[in-house]
Amino acid sequence: MNPPDSPQFASLKGRVILVTGAGSGLGREAAIAFATQGATVALLGRNENRLESTYDEIVARGGPEPAMFPYDLEAADDSGFERLAGTISYHLKRLDGILHSAAAFFSLTPLKQQTLAEWETLLKVNLAVPFALTRSCLPMLESSPDASVIFTGESHGQQPAAYWGGYAVSKSGLAPLTTIFSQELERSTNIRFNTLIPGPVNSPLRRKTHPGETIDSQPQPADLLPWYLWLMGPESRHVRGQVIDCSKGLEP
């Protein structure tokens, strides 16, 4: 039960997909890939210049014109997420998927050197925000005939290791979040929740955690795009409540 090896995927034409962290890394690459398959992508991120770069790349490739939502997830509260969901609904009229790719990370340090302020940021951006933003967008997602929510996990959230501290702990909460959302909305057969763990990949985060690696020593973001397209598209409609490690595949 792996994504197809063929680059031919079902069209995402007509769908509206929200991507957080769309200005860089896997969020940017996935947003471009979704648009290439016909989706209208709502680009969300803190850095407006980076969002504009993603926007320009999508337009240059002939994708549907995306929407940009510069937004500081760390500073957001319940009312802010409700307003954001309302803005998306007003401008784009619908929502068929969310890719939660935004993440907070500081450095690999012993727990004794990590601060409460750092943990509060990590827990909010990496765990609380995916919950709160999804909750605010649920009315739109439940109105979609086929909606997919993808949380971005991390291997150390599943297998904790020294020095990963608050980052690993914050990411570890996404698996139970996926299960709880899936069970509570199991009667909503049109919406599914899964967590995707990219594994080692050449990304801005990987370069922070492993600065000594050469660029070509790990898979490139493009190598993982079949997973993102598969999980966001109709071929994976039967996959629900799963934690999927790209480096290991999904057991049937």
Catalytic amino acids?
A: 167
Q: Which stretch of DSSP H or E encloses residue 26?
A: helix 25-36
Helices (H), 101-250: 116-123, 129-143, 155-158, 165-172, 174-184, 204-209, 221-232
Do the Cβ atoms of 4 and 27 come closer than 8 Å? no
Helices (H), 37-164: 48-60, 78-92, 116-123, 129-143, 155-158
What is the Cα–Cα distance from 2 to 197, expressed in whole angstroms?
14
How far is residue 87 CA from its own chain's centroid?
Answer: 20
What is the Cα–Cα distance from 137 to 141, expressed in whole angstroms?
6
